[in-house]
Chains A and B, each alone.
Chain A
């Protein structure tokens, strides 16, 4: 199987998806709460790798542009630190073949 067709990494997979990106994030996290978090489960359970941990600054970065709007992070976050909303009407992910 040719690897370019197969798409194995999340980064590759996300290139198959159409988005109408808003300039504002629909996901707002409480970074103070995040500082106490040991598991940082948002960084691995998210199917779109929206959350990444910046070790130097000890903060979570949020690439809301990639969000698939599934809601897993909101339920999984042990601190309830994610203020999860839908993107504004007409914005966000546009699934065509799902």
Chain B
């Protein structure tokens, strides 16, 4: 800690990720004394991201300096692939002139965030592990680290997906395996030129690409899993998010599953001859709206992953982290003004979240993951297979009458998976879409 007049701050934030930093700078900008504590020696070194942060949310917190952030590539090309054992059917979009996300390494990016926060007057305490929160007269009012007690009017928990503090103090229940995704990832070194060539990126630009893969794991009982890839300046990431309940049920290891994806004939050429730089793993809380914790209590607020703010469908998390951190910061400033840190005052945070995309999206997406998860078999195996069969007819010039081929395709589309199951799939799809739009 650079300065230590007294061990009392206006606010203490536990965890120096996007949510914690957004909260910290918002409070510092309001003129209050704020301490940001982080258990690692260097921010970001306990963290892992699939690959990209969302720029709209980043710009909102750092409108003047975001371009100086250690961005690897602007991700403006997205490809979603349905994989069978040996084929790929893709949908892609490409916006080379208007990037909305950028690939980053957490160690560099989070450290940059902290440096920006320090410039704005945030006190930063690295290598500081909070063991428990201090509660007096029904109010959370400080933290107990390995070395000392530090007090504040409000504590913000930005301590990530495992948030031991939130569980310890009854602010949230534990996640169940079905609501938790384990993501494993490898960073693989490839030359700039090879990356530009393999991902069809204009030479010498900072443009980049993301890939998503559904299926292709060559397993009869496939777990609910989604593969991803992101391009960096001179490396790529490849990873797989797998539902923890499925890993459990089928006795699978996440690293072995990632090897299956890496061996897929449509994926292998993308990483060929690359050298693995780093292997990593992280949990994603996907319980969503139905599993929200207590977002605030007397003297405490939960933000980011600690609050379970994830939209798994769109791979969104960092944007929720930045936004929730900002709303928490604004709420703390309002509370400091009237010197009231009760749950009633801090409820302003919930109100702000409800008026924003954070809780609006979480609410409208509340059933989707459950819907998709209930259709795992069809998503991971049946539809990729049928998409592949369709395009084999469409592009195959098989010297057979197309009428027969397409009719046969339709008959099998229904026969191979009973009408009942097809209707269930359709219903899951319709109710998901309706949930978002209603």
- Dominant secondary structure of chain A at its interface with chain B: loop
Q: Which residues of A contact B248 (CB under 8 A)?
A: 39, 41, 45, 76
User: Is B251 close to A, CB under 8 A?
Assistant: yes
Q: Which residues of A contact B39 (CB under 8 A)?
A: 86, 89-90
Whether A95 pairs with B184 at a CB distance below 8 angstroms is: no
Q: Which residue of A lies closest to B276 (CB)?
A: A7
Question: Considering the chains assembled together, what is the distance between the CA atoms of A94 and B279 in angstroms?
Answer: 11
Known: A70-B283, A89-B128. A94 touches B40 (CB 8 A): yes
Which residue among B46, B174, B235 has the maximum number of chain A CB atoms within 10 Å of its CB?
A: B46
Question: Considering the chains assembled together, what is the distance between the CA atoms of A20 and B41 in angstroms?
Answer: 10
Whether A17 pairs with B251 at a CB distance below 8 angstroms is: no
A97 interface neighbour in B107, B164, B174, Cβ under 8 Å: B107
Within 8 A of B (CB), among A43-98: 44-49, 68-72, 74-76, 84-86, 88-90, 92-98
Interface stretch of the complex, out of B84-92, B267-275, B377-385, B413-421: B267-275
Which residue among A7, A96, A97 has the maximum number of chain B CB atoms within 10 Å of its CB?
A: A97
Whether B41 pairs with A90 at a CB distance below 8 angstroms is: yes
Question: Considering the chains assembled together, what is the distance between the CA atoms of A44 and B252 in angstroms?
Answer: 6
* Chain B interface residue bracket vs A: 35 or more
* Chain A interface residue bracket vs B: 35 or more
Q: Which residues of B contact A88 (CB under 8 A)?
A: 129, 146
A47 interface neighbour in B41, B47, B174, B184, Cβ under 8 Å: B184
Q: Which residues of B contact A36 (CB under 8 A)?
A: none
Whether B174 pairs with A75 at a CB distance below 8 angstroms is: yes
Which residue among A7, A88, A90, A95 has the maximum number of chain B CB atoms within 10 Å of its CB?
A: A95
Question: Considering the chains assembled together, what is the distance between the CA atoms of A23 and B225 in angstroms?
Answer: 36
Whether A98 pairs with B49 at a CB distance below 8 angstroms is: yes
Q: Which residue of A lies closest to B42 (CB)?
A: A94
Whether A8 pairs with B244 at a CB distance below 8 angstroms is: no
Q: Which residue of A lies closest to B183 (CB)?
A: A70
Q: Which residue of B lies closest to A90 (CB)?
A: B127
User: Is B325 close to A, CB under 8 A?
Assistant: no
Question: Considering the chains assembled together, what is the distance between the CA atoms of A95 and B106 in angstroms?
Answer: 8
Whether B182 pairs with A45 at a CB distance below 8 angstroms is: yes
Whether A70 pairs with B281 at a CB distance below 8 angstroms is: yes
Whether B107 pairs with A13 at a CB distance below 8 angstroms is: no
CB distance from B257 to the nearest CB of A (A): 10
Q: Which residues of A contact B356 (CB under 8 A)?
A: none
Q: Which residues of A contact B205 (CB under 8 A)?
A: none
Question: Considering the chains assembled together, what is the distance between the CA atoms of A75 and B181 in angstroms?
Answer: 11
CB distance from A88 to the nearest CB of B (A): 6
Q: Which residues of A contact B259 (CB under 8 A)?
A: 8
Whether B127 pairs with A96 at a CB distance below 8 angstroms is: no
Whether A5 pairs with B276 at a CB distance below 8 angstroms is: yes
Q: Which residue of B lies closest to A92 (CB)?
A: B46
User: Is B162 close to A, CB under 8 A?
Assistant: yes
CB distance from A59 to the nearest CB of B (A): 20
User: Is B433 close to A, CB under 8 A?
Assistant: no
CB distance from A21 to the nearest CB of B (A): 14
Additional A-B contacts beyond A47-B182, A98-B48 (8; CB < 8 A): A5-B275, A13-B276, A20-B41, A47-B254, A68-B282, A94-B40, A95-B44, A97-B278
> 24 A-B Cβ contacts within 8 A?
A5-B276, A7-B186, A8-B259, A13-B186, A13-B279, A16-B276, A39-B248, A39-B251, A44-B251, A44-B252, A45-B247, A47-B253, A70-B282, A70-B283, A72-B281, A74-B162, A75-B180, A75-B244, A76-B244, A90-B39, A94-B41, A95-B278, A97-B107, A97-B187
- Which residues of B come within 8 Å of A, CB atoms? 39-42, 44-49, 105-107, 127-129, 145-146, 161-162, 164, 174-177, 180, 182, 184-187, 235, 237, 244, 247-248, 251-255, 259, 268, 272-283
Ranked 3 nearest A-B pairs via Cβ: A13-B279, A98-B280, A47-B281
